[in-house]
Structure 1
Amino acid sequence: MTDDAADRLLSDAPAPEIEVRESEVIAHGAVWDVRRDRFAFGETELVRDYVDHTGVAAVLGIDDEDRVLLLRQYRHPIGARDWEIVAGLMDVDGESALAGAQRELAEEADLAADRWDLLADVCSSPGGSTEAVRIFLARDLRPVAHDYVREGEEAEIEVRWVPLDDAVAAVLAGRLQNSTTMIAVLSAAASRAAGWSTLRPADAPWERRAAVRGERSRTRT
C-alpha cells in the first residue's frame, strides 16, 4: 500500500497529543464509575464527564446450520427483556478478552467452542463512555459443565437458536435493538457473504481498549 493510499484509508485515529490536566471520580459505582476530566484542547480547556467502564467480552455462537445463539434477559435501565448475544463485563483482573468470552459462554449458555475468531470491536458510546466491546465468533460448539450459579436477572435467561438470516431480518425490522447484538449479527452476515474472510485472529491486540481513559479499563488486560 502506498503512503497516499494509507492516508485515504478510512480509520479512526488515536489522539495521544490531548493532555489530561486533571481527572477525578465524581461518582463511584459497584460496576462502573463516573469520571470528570479537564484537558487541553487547542488553545482552550474543556471539561467532560464520562462513564469509566470495565469493557465487555461478547460472543456470537453459530452452529453448523447457520443458527446463532441468542439469550433473552431482563435489562432494568431499558425496562425490557431483550434478545442478546452472550456478553459479560471484563471485571476479572488479568483476564484476556478471549478468556472472558470463553468464561461467559460457559456461564450463560453452558457451552464451550473449539473454534474462535474475532468478529468486531466496538466503542459503544464514545461520547460518554469508555466501554469497549470485543465480539468473538464461536464455532464448533459443545456442552460444557461448570459450577457457576446464575442469579438475579441471569436466573431467568431464555436460550434460543435462530437462523442468522432471521436474526438479520429482526434487526432491520427494529425488533432487536441491543447494539452489541445488532453489530454482531450484521457483521456475521457480511462476513459469511465474504466467505468469512474478514475474521481476525481471536488473540489480536486490542489497541483501542488499551487507549481508553479512566482506571476501570486501565487496570484490566
Structure 2
Amino acid sequence: MEEDFINTLWLTGKLATLSTMFLLIIGLPIAYLLAYTHFKLKALVEALICMPLVLPPTVLGYYLLVAFSPQNVLGIFLEKHFDTRLAFTFEGIIIASIIAGLPFMIQALQNGFSSLPKSYREASYTLGKSKATTFFRVLLPNIKSSLITGIALTFAHCIGEFGIVLMVGGNIPGETRIASIAIYDEVQALNYKAANQYSFTLFLISFILLTLIYSINKSFKFKTL
C-alpha cells in the first residue's frame, strides 16, 4: 500500500510539474500578445482560453477523448505518422492538463503584463533594445509576482484535476492514476484511511502553495512602497 501511495504521488507530481512547465512556455507569448496587441478575434481567443473555467471537466475530457480516439482524424494521424496513442496514456493526460490549466497561467501573466506602465517598453525601445531584449530584461523581471502566482496556481490546479484526467486517461495504476482519482477509488472501496492519507497530502500541498503566493506577493508590494 505504501509503495502504491508513493508511486501515485510521484505520478501526480510529475504530471503537475510537466504540465506547469509546458504552460509557462506556452503562456508567456500568448499572455504577451493578449496584453499588448489588439485584433478582431481577441475576445474569441480569450473566451476559448477561459472555457475550462466554466465548462464541466467531463465535457472537455469527453471531446479530447473523442479527438484522441484511433477512429478519428487526429487519432488516425498520430498513430499513422508518429505511432502514438494519446487516449488512456500519460502523454494524453499531460495534454488534457495543459488545456485545463491554460486560464490559470495565462490570466495571471496577462494581468501582470497589463499592469506595467507603457513607459517601460517605450524607454527600452528608445534605448535601442529589441523586443526580445525588452521582454526578457525589462518586462519579465517586473512581473515576478504574476509569474509566481501563475506557476503556483497552475501547479495546484494540475494536482487537483480529476474529471478531465479520468475521462482522457482512465484509471491505470502507474500510468494515469493520480492522487485525485486514487481518493475516489479508496472512498468507493470504503478505505477511508487511505483516502484521508491522499486527501491530507493534497490539502497540505495546496495550503503551502497558497501561503507561498500570498507571502511573496506581500513581499513584492512591500519592496515597491
Alignment TM-score, normalising by the size of structure 2: 0.23
TM-score (ref. length: structure 1): 0.24
Bigger relative CO (Cα 8 Å, ≥ 6 apart):
2
Task: Looking at secondary structure, tell me which structure has more strand per residue.
Answer: 1
Larger Cα Rg: Structure 1 or Structure 2?
Answer: 2
